[in-house]
Amino acid sequence: MEKMNELLKKYFNGETTLTEELELKSYFLSGDINAEHELYRPLFETFEEEKCETAFEPLKKVATKQTKIKHIWIKTVSYSGMAAAIVLALWIQRPQQSENYAIIHGQRIDDPEYVQRYAEKKINDMNERIQNGLKPLKNMEAVKENIRDAREKGTLKNEITESDKTGNINN
């Protein structure tokens, strides 16, 4: 009791050593305090509480260069992977409606029967045009045949003339 009074007097005069202050703290935190000293208990409890207070966001450790590069690579690969996954997901989930359609005169047509009929009609039209386009060529074939006949006759006549001169047809 007397000792504690003496220590408290020294404490408030700023004359205690660290060891003496530790002794005071353990006395006030022991729970067995003289009623006279109860007054100062909150002071020493506060110091003890504050000692346990920590930074709510501890400082981050400094990374070496090697680990930084490693982290950049990991990040790059991760982001690339995520981007690829998003593209794949969008491709898989794209609307089925957009698979079969045609653009006719600048308009999107989703009715497959209409598109088929339209295509067939266009193909038939094209065939007809091709056939009509070939008609003049048939006449040309007839002309070519006549010319070929005339040439053959001319050649034969010449051959006969030559054989008359030599007496040998096969030469």
Partner 1 sequence: MDPKQFNTQILTLSDKLFRLAKSILRDAEAAQDAVQELSMKLWEKRNKLDEVENVSAFTMRAMRNLCLDTLRQRRDEDELVPEMEFVEPNPHQQTEQKDLAARVRKMIDELPELQRTIIRMRDVEEMELSEIAYVTSLTENAVSVNLSRARQKIREKIIYEQKRVEETIWKR
Q: Interface with partner 1 by CB under 8 A: which residues?
A: 11-15, 18, 21-22, 39-43, 45-47, 49-51, 53-59, 61-64
Residue-wise burial string across 34-70, b where 16 or more C-beta atoms lie within 10 A, e elsewhere: eeebeebeeebeeeeeeeeeeeeeeeeeeeeeeeeee
- C-alpha dihedral over 95, 101, 104, 109, to 10 degrees? -70
For partner 1, the closer of residues 67 and 127 by Cβ is 67
Q: What is the closest distance, in whole angstroms, from the C-beta atom of residue 17 to partner 1 in the complex?
A: 9
Check residue 99 and report its DSSP letter: G
For partner 1, the closer of residues 59 and 134 by Cβ is 59
Q: What is the closest distance, in whole angstroms, from the C-beta atom of residue 89 to partner 1 in the complex?
A: 39
Nearest-angstrom CA–CA distance, 139 and 160: 33
For partner 1, the closer of residues 12 and 114 by Cβ is 12
For partner 1, the closer of residues 46 and 124 by Cβ is 46
Q: Which segments of the chain are extended strands (E)?
A: 102-104, 107-109
Nearest-angstrom CA–CA distance, 152 and 24: 140
Q: What is the closest distance, in whole angstroms, from the C-beta atom of residue 86 to partner 1 in the complex?
A: 35
Q: What is the closest distance, in whole angstroms, from the C-beta atom of residue 8 to partner 1 in the complex?
A: 9
Determine the 3-state secondary structure of 74 from DSSP.
helix
Q: What is the closest distance, in whole angstroms, from the C-beta atom of residue 6 to partner 1 in the complex?
A: 15
For partner 1, the closer of residues 47 and 79 by Cβ is 47
Determine the 3-state secondary structure of 88 from DSSP.
helix
Cα 29 from chain centre: 62
